[in-house]
Structure 1
Amino acid sequence: MAAVETLTTSTPLPKYVQTPVTQEELDWADLVTLDLSDFDKSGGKERLTKQLFSAVQNIGFFYVINFGLSQDEVDRQFAIGKELFNLPTKEKLKFRADLENGGYNGYKPLGLREIKPGYYDNTEIYNIPKFIPTFQQAHPDIVKAHYDEIEHFSKQIYERVVRKLLVLFALVLELPEDYFLQTHEYDQDSDCHLRYMKYHKKTAEENAQIDNVWVKGHTDFGSLTLLFRQPIASLQVRTPDGKGWKWVKPYPESITVNLADVLEFITNGFLKSSIHRVVAPPPDQANIDRHGVLYFVRPRSDLCLEPVRSRVLERLGYDKLVDEKAVGLTAGDWVKARVKKNVNKYPNEKGAEQETEILGGVKAKYYD
């Protein structure tokens, strides 16, 4: 396919200014922090693996720091995303993703999903796939004007962060270092993407109508999700006992990482697909739109969701198949099916857990 058209522009990109952190006393989750500068040091992989082993069994969330991209580079991506969402709705809709058929690249409009009868989501999303010929697509001028910069940033995430994390997960399972790299190479057909996101602020009255929950508790679809530091407190993670929620603190110059469905499928539940939700921010941040920059890591689309053979899983009792219906499904089919379900409605019934069938009898849960 032809290369994406790029533009040159003399209009400077407005500088993105990070919002001050909340001063409210919140119940923060206690998460492990991995310093990726340790990765190439003597004994560094082993030290990081021990930290990760503890983190992924308990809550499925952790931080990484010193990941090789400066805060200025990160803030430039927030600035691009902010300008993109400032475009007129009519312009953004020209690039609408084919969500109804499981396509997630491009624009997801505001208010597409009903989160409670009569109340709709407050999120806009723009997804940019990997920069390989398979995924060439049209983009708004703001993206084309900064295309080379976005491409560099996206590829650096993969090289500096994703590859290292995949090696560490292989070591956690006592597998060859390149085990997960083989199914997550950048040039393979997979649904990895960079995401710009905007949560529109709501009034106190609007939040009360939806119990302050903007996005129900859920798991993500692929292997890993990387969330660049967002100072507005809104993300919560479900506690390991399943009885409550804790806030995820915006750790300085960090990426928040959470595990997703594929890793849970292929490890029989040893690696936990972390349950998280988005709620209304605390009062001192309630009147600010919440912007996000994320990267979603997904395996090769034709990867069968079959458990890996690992001495660790055998020793710890995770060598028994958890969901026979998932065997035979591919990662690509699972992602597309979850995207299609996501377009319509989350379950609206009140209760601790609600299940909805996704594909081939395999279900996903949503949590209040």
Structure 2
Amino acid sequence: MTSVPVIDIAQFDSGSADEQRRIADSVGTACEEIGFLVVTGHGVAPGVIDDLYAVAMEFFQLPFEHKREVRSPVNNLYQGYAHPGPNPGDHTSERQSYNVFRYDTVAEAVANGYPPDLEGLFFDALWPREPAGFRNAVRTYYAEMERLAGRLLTILESTLGTDPQRLTSMLDHHLSTQAINYYSDDIDSGHERTPYRFKAHHDGSLLTILYQDDGPGSLQLHRRGSGWMDVAPIPDTFVVNTGEILTRLTNGRYPATPHRVLHPPADAPKVPRMSAPFFFKPGLDSVLAPMPELLSADEESRYDPHTGRSWYTLNQRNIDNGYDSTKQYEALAADGVLPA
């Protein structure tokens, strides 16, 4: 593939069997060959996106100390506000972010059937005092991403020919994170200057569903064997990419694709860039190993088995030890395992 395919999924739910097969095949080819696709016909109302962007822009342009009121008290990057910097709980990338889970509190999640050992991998929401309507806009957007994730998982089940509900059952007690990223140059991170606002990395999710605006600085993916290419923003679409969990579930058939974010050119307008990635992550008790029905008679699993619990614990430990996804990628690229 020489470009990211744009796939209209509107007819998958109600179209003919031929239409459903065509959509499923297109999604499968994209996952297998490039690991990225652009989705139209997603059913998310433009107003939901506009409302999220409006309150997020207002939040990120608040004074720094106001934003830090909702910084994680345990220095966790998936809880509340985070910014670039050299300290624990700071981003190694050049972005500010806001993150939230499915429920406002661990207690609420446990009351809705989540395992009681959730604490430490799932964090209470930290809602800012302003802007007004922030929580409602974020929660409405999160619910739409849950719905869209369910549609995409159904398409993947058809694409892969898995047992029914094999992937959609992972929506039960999922640990997905909604992030909002704000790229600007108004915070001195103390990092060494590089061409990248966010260095090359893989996502540790099953799928990532991203909305991006047209602010300066480009998202790029690595085409397998063909170098880096831009993922240009298209209005009213979502960029979907494969994550490391899907790679494990498919025994490498759908590899997680490296991606990065560049600094804008020196002559670009001095305006921020925002994106809103939804990281779909199965629950703690999900089995994150190659699905048996996808393995041929003589095919061995390429991956050690994990549960959601052990996978997220490992990822969190790596972050705590300063070995986040970009550092992991750099190490593998230095060994020649991944492209530089």
Question: What interval of TM-score do these two structures reach, taking the shorter chain for normalisation?
Answer: 0.7 to 0.9
Aligned partner letter, 1:109: H
Residue 218 of structure 2 is aligned to residue 238 of structure 1: no
Q: Within 5 A, what are the aligned runs for 1:105-254?
A: 105-112=79-86, 121-131=93-103, 133-134=108-109, 136-142=124-130, 145-159=133-147, 161-185=148-172, 188=173, 190-201=174-185, 210-232=193-215, 233-241=217-225, 244-254=227-237
Report what 1:261 is aligned to: 244
Q: Which residue of 2 aligns with 1:11?
A: none
Residues in 2 aligned to 1:180 and 1:89: alpha-carbon distance in whole angstroms: 41
Say if 2:35 is the partner of 1:60.
yes
2:157–2:165 contact (8 Å) kept in structure 1:
yes
Residue 36 of structure 1 pairs with residue 19 of structure 2: no
2:300 matches 1:320: yes
Give the residue type in structure 1 aligned to 2:181.
Answer: M
Q: C-alpha deviations, 1:171-209, integer Å up to 9, x for none?
A: 121113421111223xx1x32122111112389xx99x6
Alpha-carbon distance in 2 for matches of 1:284, 1:271 = 38
**CA displacement 1:131-174 (0-9 Å, x = unmatched):** 47226533112366332333222112212x11110011111211
The farther-off stretch of 278-287 and 174-183 is 278-287
Counterparts in 2 of 1:45 and 1:283: CA distance versus 1, 3 Å: farther
Return the offset for 1:213: 1.9
Q: CA deviation at 1:352?
A: 7.5
- 2:178·2:278 contact (CA, 8 Å) conserved in 1? yes
Query: Is the deviation greater in 161-170 or in 174-183?
Result: 174-183
- Verify the 8 A CA contact 1:168 1:177 in the aligned structure 2: no
Partner of 2:119: none
Structure 1 residue 61, shift from structure 2 partner = 0.4
> Structure 1: which amino acid aligns with 2:59?
L
TM-score, with length taken from structure 1: 0.75
- Measured in 2, the distance between the counterparts of 1:195 and 1:272 equals 23
- The equivalent residue for 1:353 is 333
Please report the RMSD computed on the Cα atoms of aligned residues, expressed in angstroms.
Answer: 3.2
Q: 1:78 to 1:231 in 2, by over 3 A?
A: same
Contact 2:48 2:137 in 1 (8 A): no
What CA deviation, in whole Å up to 9, does each residue of 1:102-141 have, x standing for no partner?
Answer: 6612122222479xxxx95321111111147226533112
- What corresponds to 2:49 in structure 1? 74
The runs of 5 or more residues in structure 1 that have no matched partner are 1-27, 356-364
The letter of the residue matching 1:36 is I
Shift of 1:245: 0.7
**Native 8 Å contact 1:98 1:104 kept in 2:** no
- Residue of 69, 79, 96 corresponding to 2:71: 96
Retained in 1: the 8 A contact 2:38–2:238? yes
Change (3 A) 1:103 1:146: closer
Aligned to 1:48: 23
The letter for the 2-side match of 1:35 is: D
TM-score by length of 2: 0.81
Aligned to 2:6, what secondary structure does the other structure show?
strand
Q: 1:333 Cα deviation (Å)?
A: 3.0
Check the 8 A contact 2:200/2:329 in 1, yes or no: no
Aligned match of 2:309 in 308, 314, 332? 332
Which residue, out of 301, 321, 346, partners 2:284? Answer: 301
Identity %: 21
1:292 alignment partner, SS class: strand
Query: 1:93, 1:122 → 2: CA distance?
Result: 16
Q: Assess, with a 3 A threshold, how the Cα gap between structure 1 residues 221 and 144 changes in structure 2: closer, same or farther.
A: farther
CA deviation after TM superposition for structure 1 residue 299, in Å: 0.6
Task: Give the length in aligned residue pairs.
Answer: 313
Cα distance in 2 for residues equivalent to 1:31 and 1:194: 23
CA distance in 2, matches of 1:99, 1:262: 26
Partner residue in 1 for 2:113: none
CA separation in 1, counterparts of 2:296 and 2:275? 39
Distance 1:283 1:59 in 2: 30
CA contact (8 A) 2:103 2:125 kept: no
Q: Higher RCO, 1 or 2 (CA under 8 Å, sep at least 6)?
A: 1
Aligned residue among 315, 332, 341 for 2:318: 341
In the alignment, is the contact (CA less than 8 A) between 1:221 and 1:261 conserved in 2? yes
- CA pair 139-265 structure 1, distance change in 2 beyond 3 A: same
